Amino acid sequence: KAALFLQAEVRYLSRQYNFEHTKKVAAILESPGSGLIKWENISGDGIDTQKLETQPLPKTQFHTVPAWIGDAKKTADIQKDFQEWIYRSGSLKLKSNTALKVVASPDMNQADFRKKCTEAAQSAIEKETAKVEQTYTTKISALQRKIDSQELDLKAAENAVSQRNLEGLATGGAAVLGMLTGRKRSLSSTISKVRMASAAKDKKIAEEETLKQLNEQLQELQKTKEAAIKEVNDKWAEVAAQENEITVN
């Protein structure tokens, strides 16, 4: 039985969503009828016309070819109506994640779409985390240099205390020896050494406190860095979970 075969290649292009897709739509019309053709009832996916049989099966009988198929104007009007129907109804509804600029292809399943979103989010995480790392690495390095310098200052203060303690022992020993031998030692010299020993201890305590504060600042800075990285991960995880629908005409 003769029928009119129509097939169109439909191309979709959206620069906004970086989406490009091509598909074929086919229809077999056995009778145009007297009203509007319901193309949605007789259309489907495209076919490879090279795979159609060219010879009839044995004992095949043929209907008379209807006159309308031989009417060039009629078939031209039908072709135009088919194309217009595709244009009017051929919009694609696609899953998308606009924040990540991810658009699912028409045949993509949910699992693959989620995987694509996760990969896009991971790429964004890596880029943003690298910026956070760079910012905090600079700050941490500068603070670590201060700590290293402060440790040297503390070491010098500790050495000064040790030196004053040794001088104090020597002064005390000399005083005892002077009492035994009858030699007098200057009282002012002894007081001066005691003061210097006390000042050295005070400086050591101050240097220790400064070092403690710097180490606390370092710990706080590292915590802030970790919090910033977590914030980046949480933000993009939330973005990756988003899903909406777009229409491509």
* Stretch (H or E) spanning 70: none
Report CA torsion sign: 14, 17, 21, 25. negative
**One digit per residue, pLDDT tens: the chain, 249 residues?**
999 999 999 999 988 888 889 999 999 999 998 889 999 999 999 999 999 888 999 999 999 999 999 999 999 999 999 999 999 988 889 999 988 888 898 888 999 999 999 999 999 999 999 999 999 999 999 999 998 998 998 898 888 888 877 776 655 555 554 555 555 555 565 667 777 778 888 888 888 899 899 999 999 999 999 999 999 999 999 999 999 998 888
Say what the alpha-carbon torsion angle 122, 127, 130, 131 is, to the nearest 10 degrees: -140
Using the 8-state DSSP alphabet, how is residue 30 labeled?
S
Query: In the chain, how long is the greatest CA-to-CA distance?
Result: 149
Contact 102, 115 (CB under 8 A): no
Considering only CA atoms, which of 121, 94, 115 is closest in space to residue 14? Answer: 94
- What three-state secondary structure class fits 99? coil
| 168: Cα separation from own chain's centroid | 65
